[in-house]
Structure formats: C-alpha cells, structure tokens
C-alpha cells in the first residue's frame, strides 16, 4: 500500500490558498456558507460605521467610536478570510495532488485495431468506448479498458505508487487495465471501456480538485443546524438593543455585531467545508477513488461488513499440505494418482499437489496418449484417462462418490470421516480415485492472514458486524470463521446469496459495506451502501461500486471504513468544540455590554477583563484566530480510536466539550492582557 508522507502544506499551496481566500470574498460565493456570509455582512456594516459612525442611529458618546468600529471591522474581515483560507488549503492540497496525477495523463499514441486487423496510429484522446487497441512491451496503455487477448506484466506505479508490476490477462477477474500504466512484458489486446475525460483517472483528478464535490447528507443536515442556530442568536441579539435602551445603556451597533459573530457557530461554519474536502482527500491519498462524498460519509456509518473469504480473510491459494489414505489403499498409490491427475492442472492447487508429491518421492511423468480431463463446475472433478484404460479422478468428495457408484464401486466407510476431519481443520479435501476405488484425500490448506482476528475485534468494538461469504462447505466455513474471528458466515455462497444477506441487513436499518472484483459481484456491490471494487477487477464491478481501490487490496475496506469514521468524528468533535466556545464568550461580552448600567453584572466578569471594549475585542480576536489554529486538525482529522459509540461520545465531550469551554477562558484572558495597553494608547479603553 502506498504510504503518504507528504507535508501538511507546502509553500506553493500556502501562497495559492491566500490568493483563493481573497477571491472567495465574493458575496455570491459566500452565500454557499450562510454562517460566514452573516460574518461578511457584519464586516460590511462595521466598515460603513467606521466611516459614518452615526449612520444607523449609533449615538454613543464614545469619541473614539470610529477607531473602535475600524478594529471590529478588521477582525471580522480577518475572520472571514481565515474561514476562506481553511477551505482554500483543503482545495489546494487536492489541486496539488491532481497536478501530480495529471502528469501521468500523457497524450500518447494508440495503436487502434481496425476491422480488417490493420493498425492505425491515433492520439489516445481520440479513442472512444468500444475501440480495440494493441499495446506491447514498453508502451503506455492509452485508456481504461479490459484485456480481451494476451497476458502481460503491467507497471501501475504511476497510479498506485507500487513499484512491483502486476499481471493482467484476458478473462477472469484480473482483466481490467488503467490508462497511464505501462506494459513491461509481452503484449495485450484491450477493449477501451471509457470515453475521453471519463476514465477513472479523470474522475480521480476531478474529485481531488473538489470540482465535483457535493455536500453530503450529514453535512447538509449540520449546515441546516448551524443556520438555525445563527437565526436564533440573531433574533436574541436584535432584542438586546431595546433592552439596553430600557436599561439606560446605548449599545454600539458594532458591539452587537461582534456579539452576533462571537455567538453564532463561526468556528465550525468556517471549517465545515474544509473537513469534507479533507475527508475526500484522505481517501484519495489512500489510493481509493470515491465516486462521491456521500460514499465516504456512508463508510463512517457502516454497521455490517460483507467480506469474501478468499483473498480477503485468507491468502486465497489453497495449497496441498498432506495426503490421507482411506480404506485399505496404499499411500504410494494415492500420491502417484494425485500426481498423474495434476500433471496438466495448472491451478495453484494442482501445482502444489504435484510439488508435494515430488517432495515425497513421486516420479510420475506424462504418458503418451493419455487424455487429461479438465475441471468443470458441472463435474467438479479433473483427472486423466491413461492408454491402458485406467481412469484417475480427483475432485469434490460428493462428486467422486457419485462417480465411483456409477462405476459399480463402493465408497469406503471412513471417507466421510476423513473429509469432515479435514474440513473441520479449515482445509479443503480433494478426494482421489483410481477406476472404481477411492484411494484417499488430498488436504488443501488455506491460511487466515495474520492480524485479521485483531482487526475484526477492532471493528466489533465499534459495533460493526462482519459476515464472511465463501463457497466452501459449512464445516470449512465455520472453521475459518472461528479462526478469523468474524461474527457470521454464509457457506456455499452464490452471488444471489450475497444480495440476500445485504438486503436482510438493510431491512433492519443497517448500513452495509462489501468488496468485490468480479462481474458476479456487481449486483451485490450496487446493492450495498458502500461497494468497494478492485481496480484489477471487471468493468462491471467498478461501474456498480461507489468506490474503486487502485491497489486492488480487498482488506482495504477495513481502513476505508475507519477513514469514514474519522470524517464523522472530526466533524462532530469540532462542532462540539465550536458550540462549547460560546460559554466563555458570554462571560466576556454580556457583562461588558451592561456593566456600566448594571454594576452587579461585574460578578460575571470572572476572567477579570480590563474593560468593556477590551473584553469585546479580545473575544472577537479569539473567535477569529481559533479558525486557523484548527485547520491542521480539520485537515488531518481527529485521531480515530476504535471504541463503542457511548465511550466515543464521552471521550469527545471530555476533550472537545470541556476543552472548548476551558480554552477560550484562558485564551481571551491572555489576549486581553496583550491588547489592553494598545487600547489605552488608542483611547478606546
């Protein structure tokens, strides 16, 4: 997996973000963020009052009202600028990554295969979906496609960051290729599966640039809450003006604006968009293409995870581990027949069986005139018919039993016990027979990947149920499930069974995630709330999913879910911190506004702020500078720790709730100490 060790921000991105922050001051753009739009309107009003102090009936006796208004205006301007800067930083990181991706998009020459089998050289940008191209060693694959003929090693480092070439071949689940990668051996005939501008790389560039990012449902809901809070605070603050007059206090318009800006959720309002963009950025840097922000957000809400056994939970290559005889068979006969049946079996199982037989001393070689029988899904057997009439078969136990009975033979009484014993160990039994006699069983062993049990326990601790789907028999499935530590399993699973499992979980109101790479996985990937397709898989799988893993690592779904959780946790934590900040601002500004008319309110000045104007300016400055201080946290995300939702809530309330209460008390007091001498010099003490 590619590791991302890039700096949080470089000089070029920083400079670009400053420029973009000023560009975003356009009121039409600011309307997209209602909370910060209110701050910008407040800035404009304060700026006007700086020139015309009594324009809105502000008849304060303060002779330095203009200077005070200028200070409020400047701080409000900085607040809006900081919020825009946070969003620009997030976008800038995406744009920088997009530029590096664009370098892989070379306008290469494609060898288009014409109907008469002649080749025509055209630019890759001229290729259309359905075109067939030839790519040989050293050439760049001109576009996304599927291999329809040939087998070759492909260097995908330009896309995935992995230096080791991968094998791509026609048929199966490893036929998909990505434009911009390089063929390093042999040749491929490829059918293009995307039009120019619609490749996965194009989608990836568009997403990381932020051009196609849409607000997610949770983000929209939170934005609605922030707008509602803003409206409520504005109504409350508007009523303070007549209350002040009744109390004998003439409240400055700039002070009311300052109070509004301090109390509305400006911190999370300024960072909300940046958090969403950064979440997409983290997924993309993890070599996963998310088709929408909604897909990333859904990862954080996952309740159930559907996982294939082979290649995800286990290594996938079932290798021969031992031979066990049944009845009165001789082990040397079992090894000899297993080797003969495997001479033309080029699967990992066949190769490992032959290799194990050789280690045990077998020297069987091909017999001239022998007819080799390939494995089929219907017969579930393979083998060889020798010229002397001997028929050797190996395959699933039930298939061999039927075959033996059809020849008039007898099934040894201990065969089922041996098969069950191997299955209970998590192995796969292959039964071997010679003519009408069963010789024994080959023990094929699949191994659970290291650390899987711990990872599933981590998921369980946060309330995510894991279900393993496998084509193995129930005994084998149960053994692997127990060793891996999954919560449930579906044995002898067919594609339609996966869909049924997903629908059943969704009917209970759960969010379901699954991985897949084959055409037969496409319906289930489309049905799941989070479908992660392997980039090495078929086009059908990738089109059905809402996420594509460029590294083609099935276990990555575990980390993708954690990234989604981190996005939601970050948003929730910073919202909690933002709202908690208001408590200190109340103690800073409310006493400052009414203390002259109601001296008893001085008891609320628990921070001991020097003067009313100093208190208001200090609170306003804190409200502005807290936004850039939280940008690194918004970009990197709150560190994710697997735990129950109850513990997570308690932890975040302790850190970000209590921290959000205490931090501004300390910060506002420090700011007051620093700026009070300056205010004295300016005469607005």
Asked if residue 80 and residue 220 are part of one domain, the reply reads yes
Residues 347 and 407 in one domain: yes
Q: How many domains does the chain have?
A: 4
Of 158 and 358, more confident: 358
- Greatest mean pLDDT range, 207-211, 645-649, 671-675, 676-680: 671-675
Contacts for 155 with CB less than 8 Å, ≥ 6 apart: 163, 165, 181, 182, 183, 184
What's the average model confidence in pLDDT over 387-398?
92
Tens digits of residue pLDDT in 11-69: 777 888 899 899 999 999 899 889 999 999 999 999 998 888 766 555 454 457 788 88
Segment among 50-59, 166-175, 429-438 with least mean pLDDT: 50-59
- Based on the fold, state whether residues 503 and 482 are members of the same structural domain: yes
Cα 332–370–356 angle (5° rounding)?
35
Which of 204-218, 331-345, 373-387, 545-559 comes out lowest in average pLDDT? 204-218
pLDDT given for residue 564 in this prediction:
86
pLDDT band, residue 211 (cuts 50/70/90): very low
Question: How would residue 404 be classed by pLDDT, with cut points 50, 70 and 90?
Answer: very high
Q: Strand pairing of 530-534 and 547-549?
A: parallel
pLDDT reading at 683 higher than 80: no
Predicted confidence at residue 5, as pLDDT, reads 42
Which of 300, 212, 231 has the alpha carbon at shortest distance from 269?
A: 231
Cα-Cα end-to-end distance for the chain? 59
Rg of the Cα atoms in the chain = 34
Give the pLDDT score at 431. Answer: 95
What is the domain-level CATH number for residue 496? 3.40.50.1000
378: annotated binding-site residue?
yes
Q: Does residue 4 lie in a domain region?
A: no
Packing angle between helix 645-652 and helix 556-580, nearest 10 degrees? 40
pLDDT band with cut points at 50, 70 and 90 for residue 203: low
Predicted pLDDT of residue 324: 95
Confidence of residue 4 (pLDDT cuts 50, 70, 90): very low
565/677 same-domain check: yes
Would you state the pLDDT for residue 212? 45
- Residue 379 is assigned to a ligand binding site: yes
- Is pLDDT above 90 for 81? yes
- Asked whether residue 528 falls in the same domain as residue 567, the answer is no
Handedness of CA 350, 354, 360, 365 (dihedral sign): positive
Residue 159 binned pLDDT confidence (cut-offs 50, 70, 90): low
- According to the model, what pLDDT value does residue 13 have? 78
Looking at residue 628, what is its pLDDT?
Answer: 92
Residue 566 is assigned to a ligand binding site: no
Whole-number pLDDT of residue 220: 81
- Flag whether 381 is marked binding: yes
Residue percentage of the chain with pLDDT more than 70: 88
Q: What is the pLDDT of residue 2?
A: 41
Whole-number pLDDT of residue 253 = 86
375 annotated binding-site participant: yes
Amino acid 626: pLDDT: 94
Domain of residue 401, CATH code: 3.40.1110.10
- 461 and 527 co-located in one domain: yes
Residue 117 within any structural domain of the chain: no
Tell me what pLDDT residue 96 has. 63
Tell me, yes or no, whether 410 and 519 share the same domain. Answer: no
> Which residues are part of the catalytic machinery?
308
Residues 452-459 have a mean pLDDT of 84
Beta carbons of 191 and 131 less than 8 angstroms apart? yes
> Where does the pLDDT of residue 621 fall: very low under 50, low under 70, confident under 90, or very high at 90 and above?
very high
> Does some domain include residue 3?
no
CB atoms within 10 A of CB 243: 12
At residue 1, the pLDDT reads 38
pLDDT at 685: 59
Q: Is 377 annotated as a binding residue?
A: yes
pLDDT at 400: 93
Is residue 102 included in any domain, yes or no?
no
Closest CA to 230 of 484, 38, 494, 488: 38
| Contact indicator for 423, 478 with CB cutoff of 8 Å | no
Residues ≥6 apart with Cβ < 8 Å to 674 = none
Residue 21 lies in a domain: yes
Contacts of 473 (CB under 8 A, 6+ apart): 423, 491, 492
pLDDT of residue 667: 93
Q: Is residue 669 part of a domain?
A: yes
In-domain check, residue 6: no
Is 517 marked as a binding-site residue? yes
pLDDT at 106: 57
Q: Which of 397, 413, 437 is the last residue of a domain?
A: 437
- What 3-state DSSP class applies to 150? strand
- Given 394, 409, 437, the domain boundary residue is 437
Q: Average pLDDT in the 464-481 region?
A: 83
Q: Are residues 534 and 601 in the same domain?
A: no
Highest mean pLDDT among 133-147, 353-367, 437-451, 583-597: 353-367
Give dist(CA 448, CA 309) in Å, integer: 9
Is 327 in the same domain as 424? yes
- What whole-number distance in Å separates Cα of residue 599 and Cα of residue 373? 100
**255 annotated to a ligand binding site:** no
pLDDT digits (tens, 9 = 90+) for 246-300: 777 777 888 889 889 988 989 998 888 888 777 777 787 777 877 777 788 888 8
Per-residue pLDDT band at 207 (split at 50, 70, 90): low
Kindly state the helix (H) or strand (E) to which residue 88 belongs, with its residue range: helix 65-102
What CA–CA distance (Å, rounded) separates 621 from 493?
A: 61
Average pLDDT, the chain: 83
What integer is the mean pLDDT of 535-563? 78
Alpha carbon distance 382, 350 (integer Å): 10
Whether residue 131 is annotated as binding a ligand: the answer is no
Q: DSSP string of 395-459?
A: E-HHHHHHHHHHTT----TTHHHHHHHHHHTTEEEEEEEETTEEEEEEEEE--BPTTHHHHHHHH
The reply to whether 645 and 605 lie within a common domain is: yes
Span 339-359, average pLDDT: 89
- Residues spanned by the domain of 593: 11-96+208-284+561-682
Angle between helices 658-682 and 612-636 in degrees, nearest 10: 130
Please check whether residues 326 and 420 belong to one and the same domain: yes
Residue 376, annotated as binding a ligand: yes
Single residue among 550, 570, 603 that ends a domain in this structure? 550
Residues 653 and 614 in one domain: yes
Annotated binding residue 380 = yes
Helices and strands: H and E segment counts in the chain? 24, 21
Give the model's confidence band at 671: pLDDT under 50 very low, under 70 low, under 90 confident, else very high.
Answer: very high
- Sorted by sequence, the CB contacts under 8 Å of residue 641 that are 6+ apart come out as 648, 651
Residue 477 forms part of a structural domain: yes
pTM over 0.85: no
Q: Which residue has the tokens 């079932």?
A: 318
Number of Cβ atoms within 10 Å of the Cβ of 643: 15
Q: What is the CATH number of the domain that holds 163?
A: 2.70.150.10
Give the H/E segment covering residue 560.
helix 556-580
């Amino acid at each position: 997996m590619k590791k991302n060790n890039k700096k949080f921000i470089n000089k070029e991105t920083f400079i670009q973000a400053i420029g973009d922050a000023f560009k975003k001051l356009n009121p039409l753009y600011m309307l997209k963020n209602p909370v910060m739009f209110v701050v910008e309107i407040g800035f404009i009003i304060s700026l006007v009052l700086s020139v015309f102090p009594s324009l809105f009936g502000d008849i304060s006796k303060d002779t330095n009202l203009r200077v005070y208004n200028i200070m409020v205006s400047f701080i409000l301007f900085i607040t809006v600028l900081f919020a825009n800067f946070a969003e620009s930083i997030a976008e800038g990181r995406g744009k920088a990554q997009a530029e590096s991706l664009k370098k892989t998009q070379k306008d290469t020459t494609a060898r288009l295969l014409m109907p008469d089998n002649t080749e025509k050289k055209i630019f890759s940008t001229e290729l259309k979906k359905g075109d067939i191209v030839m790519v040989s060693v050293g050439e760049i694959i001109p576009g996304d496609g599927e291999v329809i003929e040939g087998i070759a090693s492909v260097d995908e480092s330009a896309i995935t960051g992995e230096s080791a070439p991968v094998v791509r071949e026609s048929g199966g689940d490893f036929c998909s290729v990505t434009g911009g990668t390089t063929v390093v051996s042999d040749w491929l005939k490829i059918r293009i599966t995307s039009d120019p501008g619609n490749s996965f790389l194009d989608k990836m560039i568009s997403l990381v640039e932020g051009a196609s990012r849409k607000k997610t449902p949770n983000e929209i809901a939170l934005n609605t809450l922030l707008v509602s809070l803003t409206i409520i605070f504005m109504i409350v603050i508007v009523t303070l003006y007549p209350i002040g007059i009744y109390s004998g206090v003439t409240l400055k318009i700039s002070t009311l604006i300052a109070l509004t800006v301090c109390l509305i959720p400006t911190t999370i309002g300024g960072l909300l968009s940046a958090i969403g963009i950064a979440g997409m950025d983290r997924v993309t840097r993890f070599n996963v293409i998310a088709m929408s922000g909604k897909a990333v957000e859904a990862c954080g809400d996952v309740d159930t995870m559907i996982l294939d056994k082979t290649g995800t939970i286990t290594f996938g290559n079932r290798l021969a581990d031992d031979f066990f005889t049944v009845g009165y068979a001789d082990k040397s006969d079992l090894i000899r027949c297993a080797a003969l049946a495997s001479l033309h079996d080029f699967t990992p199982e066949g190769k490992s069986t032959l290799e194990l037989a050789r280690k045990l001393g077998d020297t069987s070689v091909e017999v001239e005139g022998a007819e080799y029988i390939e494995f089929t899904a219907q017969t579930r057997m393979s083998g060889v018919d020798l010229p002397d009439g001997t028929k050797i078969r190996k395959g699933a136990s039930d298939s061999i039993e039927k075959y033996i009975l059809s020849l008039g033979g007898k099934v040894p009484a201990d065969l089922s016990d041996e098969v069950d014993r191997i299955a209970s160990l998590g192995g796969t039994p292959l039964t071997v027979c010679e003519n009408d006699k069963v010789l024994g069983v080959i023990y094929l062993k699949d191994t659970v990947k290291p650390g899987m049990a711990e990872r599933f326990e981590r998921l369980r601790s946060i309330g995510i149920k894991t279900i393993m789907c496998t084509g193995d028999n129930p005994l084998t499935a149960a053994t692997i499930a127990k060793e891996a530590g999954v919560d449930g399993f579906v044995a002898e699973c067919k594609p339609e069974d996966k869909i049924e499992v997903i629908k059943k979980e969704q009917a209970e109101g759960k969010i379901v995630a699954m991985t897949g790479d084959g055409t037969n996985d496409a319906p289930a990937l489309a049905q799941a709330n989070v479908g992660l397709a392997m980039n090495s898989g078929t086009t059908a799988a990738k089109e059905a999913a809402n996420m594509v893993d460029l590294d083609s690592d099935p276990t990555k779904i575990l980390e993708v879910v954690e990234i989604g959780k981190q996005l939601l946790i970050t948003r929730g934590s910073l919202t909690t911190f933002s709202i908690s900040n208001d408590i200190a601002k109340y103690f800073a500004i409310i006493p400052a506004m009414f203390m002259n008319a109601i001296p008893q309110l001085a008891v609320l000045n628990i921070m001991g702020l020097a003067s009313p104007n100093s208190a208001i300016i200090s609170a306003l400055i804190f409200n502005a500078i807290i936004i850039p201080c939280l940008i690194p946290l918004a970009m990197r995300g709150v560190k994710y720790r697997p735990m129950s939702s109850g513990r997570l809530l308690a932890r975040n309330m302790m850190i970000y709730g209590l921290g959000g209460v205490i931090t501004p008390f300390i910060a506002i007091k420090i700011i007051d100490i620093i700026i009070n001498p300056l205010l004295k010099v300016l005469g607005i003490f």
